[in-house]
Amino acid sequence: MGAIVHDDGVAFRVWAPNADRVSVVGTFNDWQSEAAPLKREEHGTWYVNVANAKAGDEYKYRITRGDNSFDRIDPYAREVTNSIGNAVVYKDTFDWKHPTFHRPTQNELVIYEMHIGTFHRDDPDQPGTFSDAVAKFKHLKELGINAIQIMPVAEFAGDLSWGYNPAHIFAVEQAYGGPDALKAFVDAAHEAGFAVIIDVVYNHFGPSDLDLWQFDGWSENDKGGIYFYQDHRSNTPWGDTRPDYGRGEVRQFIHDNAMMWMREYHADGLRYDMTAYIRTVSGIGDDDIAEGWGLMQWINRDLRNEFPGCYLIAEDLQTNNWLTKTEDQGGAGFTTQWDAAFVHPIRAAVQEIDDAHRDMWAVRDALCHRYNGDAFQRVVYSESHDEVANGKSRVPSEIDAEDPESRFAKKRTILAAALALTAPGVPMLFQGQEMLEDDWFEDTDPLEWERTRRLRGIKRLFRDLIHLRLNKDGLSKGLTGQHIVMHHVNENDKVVAFVRRAEDPQDDVLVLANFANRSWDQYEIGFPDSGDWQLKLNTDWSGYDQDFDDHPVEHVDATDQPYDGLPARAAVSFGAYAVLVYTRK
């Protein structure tokens, strides 16, 4: 499908089953409709080879149905001039410098969610580009993350967008640099040691600048035509734009798109936007769309077979175990999913004004939640693009809208992020968390990079947390493990402590989190074993921020006295809203 460059010109094939006539017009034939008519094939496709067409030529399909004739951009176009412009004949000649990449295992992932248009702008008056983002890879390398998840980069209406309004799902956004620039971004990311996960939107298309709408002139009930449902199932929060998951050609269209990101762009995984609207009509009810479920199973099965170890992430947010069950169990076959059962209670706990109202049992449940008994079937985070917009702000601004860099705002923001990076699950940061970006996320507002200098200690804190999460010093392997022992929940004093464990208890890591604005000098908690336990991180250290209290803390010697259901105990000291991480000496 689409425009295929070969030695004898360019072959064009398009699906338009209700058209009476189709021709391809472009720069190669002065846009003359009689010059290159397509021949009808079986199953509603049309085909022609144009000998004098070449890569770089612009074109459209001119479709006639009855008395009406109209031009359409090729649904399979790999490149367009813009969302309402022309398709461009694209030939893949990119020279990959790093064609192979060793993906981290899912239990060793730390994801950084990035919006290309605002992550970094070389020109403050223009959206950021893929090359602008590459220029900041040194910052990400220093931070320690090992996976970048980019918000959708399929061509959208205009130059400013979150990307969740895809106009042409096979074309790469021109304002970001187009297809070769994305390949250069992925190549550079792999060289720097970052996996790349691409966000895809299959729960709806458009709704604006949508040439797929009534593509060949046919529709029923004034709906969207061949690519869309023609009944109540078309309805989404983004208009009547839900694809017809039951129509074979539409299923193939979406399947081909998913495979394209992996095959042609060397992506390491996909994150599906709001799968609840693929599998149900309402997104929240039991009004299932069986074809949508089957489509996700088919795509995920083929991706996992062809790209073993790839990441398949669902944003469903309905705490549904079936998303991450395997296909042979009847599941959708995703490897992990965003976990609403973590982000909402953790944010609620740190954003609450009054310490007395923080719910430690809700925190416990958030830390212990998992899907199908597998901690790494969930992505845990305190900020994402959804959680810092749509009426919600960044965590520092939610805590203190007047002064997002106040002591309270900084300490409790770090408390939430530290739990995401120490809890069982795949941790994710949203761009700018490491510099305490405030207010809310907008596609017009780039990151303020001067904050990395002014708040360099905060970046160091995130780096230290990530290094612990990835066991960089060989002492914190427990943080990469499946298991959590939630042995200490103090609802009165607002303190929790838990043990993270891999297979070997010698790798145990103990984490303590204080959700109150008070410090302790002799606070007894259980330890998994007696002996020396080394303090590896204290978020209250003034070296991270001069507003932090720097309450005296130290290594501890646990004694052989059972406590909290564990075989040893020790008295620890810690500051207000502090998180401590201990490993064996």
Residues annotated catalytic, as ranges:
273, 315
Q: How many residues does the chain have?
A: 585
In contact, 374 and 326? CB cutoff 8 Å: no
The amino acid occupying position 530 is: S
Whole-number Å distance between alpha carbons of 50 and 213: 26
User: Which residue, 142, 170, 136, 135, is CA-closest to 156?
Assistant: 170
Whole-number Å distance between alpha carbons of 353 and 342: 20
DSSP 165: S
Beta bridge partners of 524: 571
In contact, 261 and 269? CB cutoff 8 Å: no
Structure tokens given for 193: 């040691």
DSSP characters over 268-318: SEEEES-THHHHBSSSSSS-B-HHHHHHHHHHHHHHHHHSTT-EEEE---S
580: left (phi over 0), alpha (psi -120 to 50) or beta: beta
What pairing do the DSSP bridges indicate for beta strands 111-114 and 147-150? parallel
Dihedral of alpha carbons 418, 421, 425, 431, sign: positive
For residue 583, give every residue at least 6 positions away whose Cβ sits within 8 Å of its Cβ, in sequence order, or none.
Answer: 475, 476, 478, 508, 509, 510, 533, 534, 536
In contact, 74 and 61? CB cutoff 8 Å: yes
Whole-number Å distance between alpha carbons of 475 and 469: 10
Rg of the chain on CA atoms, in Å: 26
Helix, strand and coil percent figures for the chain, each rounded to 5? 30, 25, 45
